[in-house]
Structure 1
Amino acid sequence: MRRPTRCHKTVTLRVMRPLAPWIARLALLGSLFATPSALAREHNHGAWLTAGLKGPIGRSEDTRWNYVLHGEYRAYDAFDGLRYSVMRVGAGYRLDHGFSLLGGLDRHHSRLVAGGSLTEVRLWQAVQWKHRFDNDWSFSARARIEQRDFDKRDGTYWRFRTKLGLDIPFSTRDNLAWVLSVEPFFQVHNPNGSNAGMNQVRSFVGLNIDTGEHASVEVGYLNQYGRVRDGADIINHMLQVNLRFSQ
C-alpha cells in the first residue's frame, strides 16, 4: 500500500482540526438520549424498515447528478400501534470537496391508533458533506429544511434537522463497519404560532454489511425521542434495518 505523502498528511490534518468539534458534538449528542429516555413517561417498541436506490442521471461517467428513490415502513408499540409509511423521490448534485446539494418530495401516510389516517406531503432541501480519513473512518454532516403540508391541517409547517454520522470500518473485515449517528429536529414554524423548538432526537448505533458491489444492509438500534407538547414525552426503541442499493 502506498504511504501517504507529507503533503497529503498536512492536508488531512488541516481537515481534521475543524472536524474535531463536530466529532465531539456527535459523541455528546449521542449520549444525551439516555437522559430523556430515563425521564420519558411513555416507551414504545417496534421496527423500522427502509429501502433506497441511488444512481446517476445521464449516461456520462462524469455526471454530477444522481437520483434517489426511497421507501420506509414503521410499526410502533410492538406492532400494535401506529403504522407509518414513506415514499420519497429526490435528486442530488455533487459539488467539490465532498459537498452535495439534494432536494426532493415525500409522501408520508400514518394509520393512527385511535382510528383514521393522516397524510403529509413534504418538500425538502439539504446540503451534505462527507469526508474519509486516512484510517478509512468516514464522517458526514447533513443539514435539511422541510416544508410539511398535512391533509387535515391549514398552512405549511417548517422544520430543520441536522444529522451527524460516523462510520468505523472493521480492521479485519473489509465489508463490515460500525455506524453511529445522531439527528436532532427543530420545529421552526407552525401556522398556529406555537413554535416548539427541538422536538425530536434520533440516535442510532448499528452494523453496516456490504453484501455486494452495489448493495449493503445496515442493522441496528434506533432510539427516537419525541417531545410531545402538553403530553408525555415518548421514547421509541426501534429495530432498524436499512437496505441500500446503487447503480
Structure 2
Amino acid sequence: MRRIPTACFSSVAAGLIAAAPASASDHDEQVWTSATATTALSPKVDTTLELHSRYTDDVSRVGQVLIRPSVTYKLPRGWSVTAGYVYVRTRFENTAANDEHRSWQQIGYTLAANAATGLAITGRTRVEQRFRPDADGVGWRLRQQVRAQLPLGRGNPVRAVVWNETFIGLNTTAWDGHDGVDQVRTFIGASLPIADGVTVEPGYLNQTVFRIGPERVNHILAANIFARF
C-alpha cells in the first residue's frame, strides 16, 4: 500500500469542495434518497441494484426516480469494470413526465490507500448512452468521480466521506442541445455502519447544473444506504 499522510485527506476535501461552482441565480432545496444492494455471483463478479428517489421543488414532490441494475467484474490492484442499465423518470414542475433509458459502462480504480490511517482515494470513469423513447438521437455522456474517505480516529468505524463528480456531454441530440460540462456534484458527509454489511451515508450534496440562461444550484440533503449480502 502507498503511504499517504493523513493531512492529505484535508487537502483532497478542500479541493473537491472548491471544485463546486460558487454562484448561480436559481436555487432549490431537495432531498435525495437511495438504497443500493450488492451480492456476489462469484468471487470476482458482483451484481448490484440501486433505487433512487429525489424530492424537488423545496422537497414538495418526487421529481425523479431511478432504477439502476449492474454487474461488476473485479480485477487485481483495486480495478474493476462494470456494465449496467438505468431507467430514469423525470417530472419537472407543471410539465408532463418523461422517461429516459441509459446503458452505461464504467472503470473503477484505487488512486491511493494507506493501511495505517485508513485513508482511501478511489475513482470511477463512466460512459453513458442516453435514449428517449419520445425523441430521436443517442446522447453520449462522460462522468468522472473522485472519492476520498478517512476513519474518524484509529479504530473508529465511522468515516468522513468527500466526493466530486463532473458530467460532460459528448454530443448533442434533438432532445438535449447541451454538450460540454453538464453538471457538477460535490458531497461531504459520513459513512456510518448500522449492521453487518450495511452502512448509511448521510450528508450535504451540492449539484450545479449548467444550462442556457442562469445556472441551477440544488442544495441537497442526501441519505444513501448500502447493503452487501
User: Under a length normalisation based on structure 1, what TM-score does the superposition of the two structures give?
Assistant: 0.84
Q: In the aligned structure 1, how far is the partner of 2:215 from the partner of 2:155?
A: 40
Q: Give the Cα–Cα distance (whole angstroms) in 2 for the partners of residues 205 and 105 of structure 1.
A: 27
CA contact (8 A) 1:81 1:113 kept: no
Q: CA deviation at 1:79?
A: 2.0
Residue equivalent to 1:186: 168
Task: Give 1:14-163 correspondences, 5 Å limit.
Answer: 27-33=14-20, 36-38=21-23, 40-58=24-42, 63-80=43-60, 83-130=63-110, 131-134=112-115, 135-163=117-145
Higher CA-based Rg? 1
Aligned 8 A contact 1:73 1:84 in 2: yes
Check conservation: 2:53, 2:62, Cα contact below 8 A: no
Deviation at 1:50? 0.5
* Deviation (angstroms), 1:168: 1.0
Structure 1 residue 199, shift from structure 2 partner: 1.6
CA contact (8 A) 1:26 1:182 kept: no
The answer for the alignment partner of 1:205 in structure 2 is 188
Q: Is contact 2:16-2:163 (8 Å) kept?
A: no
Deviation at 1:196, TM superposition (A): 2.1
Stretches of structure 2 that go unaligned for 5 or more consecutive residues are none
Alignment-mate amino acid for residue 2 of structure 2: T
Q: Give the match's secondary structure for 2:18.
A: helix
Counterpart position of 2:219: 237
> How many pairs does the alignment contain?
224
Matched with 2:159 is: 177
Contact 2:12–2:148 (CA under 8 A) maintained in structure 1 = no
CA distance, structure 1, for counterparts of residue 171 and residue 89 of structure 2: 21
What secondary structure sits across from 1:171 in the alignment? coil
3-state secondary structure, aligned to 1:30: helix
Structure 1, unmatched stretches of 5+, are: 1-10
Task: List per-residue Cα deviations over 1:104-127 (Å, max 9, x = no partner).
Answer: 000000122122101000000000
Pick the structure with more strand per residue: 2
Larger helix proportion of the pair: 1
Aligned residues: percent identity?
24
Mapped to 2, the partners of 1:217 and 1:26 lie a distance apart of: 20
Q: TM-score, normalised by structure 2?
A: 0.90
Match of 1:4 in 2: none
